[in-house]
């Protein structure tokens, strides 16, 4: 039997420009956070029209700092979705806070604004609502910000997937009180590991600047470049060590310049998938919409029409050379969450259903034509072969 060629789940688009940027920084003699990180922040802030953008070593750190800056800590809770990566929740737990969950909506993967409203009415300890723009499709931010505003609660967007998600109201990640982007290896632009926090309030920006560097009042770069005594500094509160080094920031600057072209390619591939899959009743295509960044392509299967389930379908895809992933295993299915909270699948019927029926297909800007075709034909042929009610 001829083995099918394999389609990787993801490959970053890195070229000569990124290589040269890394070399430039290495040769400069300044490796930690300095002028490159500053420039990356300024360029990113300009791109998304945010008054402040603060580079950090991951979105996880970014979420933690944004939450801390908005008063999340012991005795408070954050409200988020179970249909997200673990660190959306553990960022709050590491601060001594607890997590409450609202289900996703029936039509997509994002938190249900009506469920958020109910939770805000029932509980007065919610310090921040943390919507997640799953796969890069923006949540209903108008509704969420209105509800949170009435409740006196901050909105911290988990925009890890959502660059560049441009909506009529502005970029996702700049619509709440704070927004946090990820530049992890598979994200829409990457620095290998990294993140960016966007905030409007200058005092919050100042606080986060200190939090990411031990709570020190003057970043090393300032001490090095200012003409005030460079050996003096004060630690104003206990902080963390989560700054983004210049080598990574330099890669980020190049990637930022390529972001629009990456986005156009991702969207074109995603739309080809959806057009190809739309005619088959055993598949469901993900929602499209205003500002979708298409970080992930979340394909739904309809197990009732198939002789296999999600994992079975996944194994067949893998055997046919298509690497897949899973977004997300909801928190109520994970051991850490079960140990901490008593949650039931039946409390989150939409998240449970999506978990049971969703697979993530390869989607990256440099996918070759044959790869895109192979993904499409393989998904359809597996679905047809497994179809229960043959026409």
Is the CB of 117 or the CB of 157 nearer to ligand PLP?
157
Tokens of residue 210, six digits: 């200190």
Residue 60, interface with ligand PLP (CB under 6 A)? yes
Q: What sign results for the dihedral spanned by CA atoms 340, 346, 351, 353?
A: positive
Beta-strand relationship, 170-171 and 166-167: antiparallel
Residues 40-59: x where in contact with ligand PLP by CB under 6 A, - otherwise, as a string: ------------------xx
Is the CB of 132 or the CB of 337 nearer to ligand PLP?
132
Catalytic residue from among 3, 11, 150, 187: 187
Residue 87, interface with ligand PLP (CB under 6 A)? yes
Residue 242, interface with ligand PLP (CB under 6 A)? no
> DSSP character for 287?
P
Residue 88, interface with ligand PLP (CB under 6 A)? yes
Give the length of the chain. Answer: 391
Residue 209, interface with ligand PLP (CB under 6 A)? no
Residue of 7, 95, 102, 160 interacting with ligand PLP (CB under 6 A): 160
Tokens of residue 312, six digits: 């079975």
CA angle 78, 81, 86 (to 5 degrees): 85
Residue 182, interface with ligand PLP (CB under 6 A)? yes
Tokens of residue 254, six digits: 């190049």
Phi, psi (rounded to 5 degrees) for 154? -75, 155
Query: How many residues form the binding site for ligand PLP (CB under 6 A)?
Result: 14
Say how far apart CA 82 and CA 80 lie, in whole Å: 7
Say how far apart CA 374 and CA 266 lie, in whole Å: 16
Residues 115-134: x where in contact with ligand PLP by CB under 6 A, - otherwise, as a string: -----------------x--
Q: How far is the CB of 82 from ligand PLP (least distance, A)?
A: 12
Q: How far is the CB of 160 from ligand PLP (least distance, A)?
A: 3
Residue of 158, 276, 350, 378 interacting with ligand PLP (CB under 6 A): 158
Our answer to whether residue 338 is catalytic in this structure is no
Residue 157, interface with ligand PLP (CB under 6 A)? no
Residues 187-206: x where in contact with ligand PLP by CB under 6 A, - otherwise, as a string: --------x-----------
Residue 184, interface with ligand PLP (CB under 6 A)? yes
Residue of 44, 70, 83, 85 interacting with ligand PLP (CB under 6 A): 85
How would you class 330 by CB atoms within 10 Å of its CB: exposed for 0-12, middle for 13-18, buried for 19 or more? buried
Helical pair 369-385 and 310-319, crossing angle rounded to 10 deg = 130
Residue 173, interface with ligand PLP (CB under 6 A)? no
Q: What sign results for the dihedral spanned by CA atoms 306, 308, 312, 315?
A: negative
The residues, ordered by sequence, that sit 6+ positions from 122 with a Cβ below 8 Å of its Cβ are none
3-class state of residue 178 by DSSP: strand
Residue 110, interface with ligand PLP (CB under 6 A)? no
Residue 84, interface with ligand PLP (CB under 6 A)? yes
Is the CB of 127 or the CB of 161 nearer to ligand PLP?
161
Is the CB of 182 or the CB of 357 nearer to ligand PLP?
182
Is the CB of 184 or the CB of 280 nearer to ligand PLP?
184
How would you class 120 by CB atoms within 10 Å of its CB: exposed for 0-12, middle for 13-18, buried for 19 or more? buried
Q: How far is the CB of 362 from ligand PLP (least distance, A)?
A: 16
Say how far apart CA 250 and CA 40 lie, in whole Å: 7
3-class state of residue 387 by DSSP: strand
Q: Which among 82-90, 275-283, 301-309, 357-365 is the span making contact with ligand PLP, rule CB under 6 A?
A: 82-90
Nearest to 69 by CA among 174, 215, 172, 221: 215
Say how far apart CA 332 and CA 324 lie, in whole Å: 22
Residues involved in catalysis: 187
What are the residues binding ligand PLP (CB under 6 A)? Answer: 58-60, 84-85, 87-88, 132, 158, 160-161, 182, 184, 195
């Amino acid at each position: 039997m001829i083995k099918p060629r394999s389609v990787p789940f993801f490959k970053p688009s890195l070229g000569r420009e990124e290589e040269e940027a890394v070399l430039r920084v290495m040769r400069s003699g300044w490796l930690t956070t300095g002028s490159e990180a500053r420039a990356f922040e300024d360029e990113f802030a300009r791109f998304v029209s945010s008054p402040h953008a603060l580079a950090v070593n991951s979105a996880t750190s970014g979420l933690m700092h944004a939450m801390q800056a908005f008063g999340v800590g012991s005795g408070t809770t954050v409200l988020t979705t179970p249909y997200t990566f673990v660190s959306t929740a553990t960022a709050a737990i590491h601060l001594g806070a607890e997590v409450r969950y609202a289900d996703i909506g029936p039509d997509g993967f994002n938190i249900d604004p009506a469920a958020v409203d109910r939770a805000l009415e029932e509980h007065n300890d919610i310090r921040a609502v943390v919507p997640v723009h799953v796969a890069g499709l923006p949540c209903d931010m108008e509704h969420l910000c209105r509800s949170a505003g009435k409740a006196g609660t901050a909105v911290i967007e988990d925009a890890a997937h959502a660059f560049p998600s441009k909506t009529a109201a502005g970029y996702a990640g700049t619509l709440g009180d704070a927004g946090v982007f990820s530049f992890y290896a598979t994200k829409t632009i990457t620095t290998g590991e990294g993140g960016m926090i966007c905030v409007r309030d200058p005092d919050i920006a100042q606080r986060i600047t200190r939090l990411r560097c031990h709570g020190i009042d003057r970043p090393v770069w300032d001490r090095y470049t200012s003409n005030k005594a460079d050996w003096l500094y004060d630690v104003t509160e206990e902080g963390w060590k989560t700054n983004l080094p210049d080598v990574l920031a330099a890669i980020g600057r190049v990637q930022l310049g390529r972001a629009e072209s990456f986005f156009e390619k991702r969207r074109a591939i995603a739309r080809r998938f959806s057009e190809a899959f739309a005619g088959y009743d055993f598949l469901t295509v993900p929602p499209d919409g205003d500002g979708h960044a298409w970080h992930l392509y979340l394909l739904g299967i309809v197990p009732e029409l198939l002789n296999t389930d999600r994992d079975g379908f996944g194994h067949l895809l893998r055997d046919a050379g298509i690497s897949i992933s899973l977004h997300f295993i909801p928190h109520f299915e994970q051991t850490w969450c079960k140990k901490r909270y008593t949650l039931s699948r039946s409390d989150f019927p939409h998240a449970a259903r999506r978990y049971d029926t969703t697979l993530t297909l390869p989607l990256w800007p440099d996918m070759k034509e044959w790869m895109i075709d192979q993904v499409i034909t393989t998904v359809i042929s597996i679905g047809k072969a497994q179809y229960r009610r043959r026409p």
